[in-house]
Amino acid sequence: MHIAVLGTGYVGLVTGTCLADTGHQVVGIDIDPRKIATLQSGKLPIYEPGLLEIVERNTRDGRLTFTTDLAGGIKQAEIVFLCVGTPPGPDGSADLKYIWTAGESIARLLTDYKLVVVKSTVPVGTNSELLRRMRALTQVEFDVASNPEFLKEGAAVEDFTKPDRVVIGVRSSRAEQMLRDLYAPFLRTERPILVMSPESAEMTKYVANAMLATKISFINEMANLCEVLGADVNDVRRGIGHDARIGFQFLFPGPGYGGSCFPKDVSALIALAQKKQQSASLIEAVHAVNERQKHVLGQKVRRHFGAGLGGKTLAVWGLAFKPRTDDIREAPALVFIEEMLAAGVALRVHDPEAMANVRELFGERLSYHTKPYETLEGADALVLITEWHEFRNPDFVTMKKLLRQPVIFDGRNLYDPQQLRRHGFTWYGIGRGDLATTGG
């Protein structure tokens, strides 16, 4: 098939590249000429493990091209994916201006049948409204379908090529068959394609993310309760995770969730409920718990240093909202950085991929370091915020020599507190009660 993908951000680039890798002719289209120039030069505007190799292979073989020319890009396309941004507005609701602009532009250019597929995360009813707007502009036959993405940053290629399921919201058998054919190569291990209305498909995306966000906020709130009660959340997590009804996924306490999906989608779901004057107290609480959790590390630091915090230097490991990505949208590290800078703290920071993005926000207010141990030199403590694999088994002897004070604030419970005690560290975790250690 000939496929066009509008938007070459995270979702669009992964979608187009993986489809090209199964033999389709794919054109990636974007209004940002710098992004297209970057892609045409063989570089990626985002970091995603394994993606660059697939992009290079398919551009080399002519199956994947990039352009800013919408008319030329969709001319031969049978399927056009909309992967444009839907950023949150001031009230938390999704801003759909890019969806409307893209759909209406396509409608004016139609000369033959095309299936327009909304892959962006959009509120329930967007598909129907887009269909109405496009029909007002053309007499040419077309369909509008919904096909929400369920990609984890850091594992997006794997998620696209080996999905748990594919959800499609369609109104016609023609659109359904085209999408079944398109996704057939990815469903050879008997994973299902779930066919439903566009409204149900739109809602499925929000509910999935809200459920996962709920698990994260729940375990974080329980971790805080464990800490004041003297319980160890790691034991509690194992105690409930082995219950098949609950499971272990998303039950790791930390400084709160971030990224491009959970914060935005939870806020949008709350806004949808408010628009319909429907109570959404549970998901509102999930959001509130997460916002509070982003301040937990800062509170621990302030309690440890007290009135002497101003003038201290802290090393920070991990800036991205999660490992294996350079994405810092809504990252807990940003909240911590702002709090510490406001308190007069000097920060030495390191992240394997996200430092360039953080530098765009904070400029020279931070000290940036390409090597983890270099970050520790002269710092009064280490604050670990993102659990990159590189941080899991460090040399504690070397760390103690480099740090001015042997103190670690472990925002991901990555380290064994008993091991750190033996090395003479003071250690603070999340929700591990009386296991907080004081070295000597």
Catalytic positions are 261
Q: Identify the residue whose tokens are 């990039």.
A: 66
Residue 346 bridge partners (DSSP): 313
**Is 440 exposed, middle or buried, given 0-12, 13-18 or 19+ CB atoms closer than 10 A?**
exposed
- Please give the distance of CA 3 from its chain centroid, rounded to a whole number: 25
| Amino acid (1-letter code) at residue 122 | V
- Give the C-alpha distances (Å, rounded to integers) separating 226 from 217, 240, 262, 392, 412: 14, 14, 25, 24, 15
Q: What is the DSSP letter of 437?
A: B
| Amino acid (1-letter code) at residue 374 | E
Give the list of residues 6+ apart from residue 90 with CB closer than 8 angstroms, or none: none
Give the list of residues 6+ apart from residue 173 with CB closer than 8 angstroms, or none: none
The answer to whether 413 touches 429, Cβ cutoff 8 Å, is yes
**Distance between start and end Cα atoms, the chain:** 67
Whole-angstrom distance, CA of residue 18 vs CA of residue 155 = 13
- Give the C-alpha distances (Å, rounded to integers) separating 52 from 17, 44, 57: 9, 7, 9
Provide the pairing of β-strand 64-67 with 79-82. unpaired
The answer to whether 73 touches 29, Cβ cutoff 8 Å, is yes
- Give the C-alpha distances (Å, rounded to integers) separating 112 from 76, 77, 104, 106, 172: 9, 10, 15, 11, 17
Q: Which DSSP helix (H) or strand (E) runs through 300?
A: helix 296-305
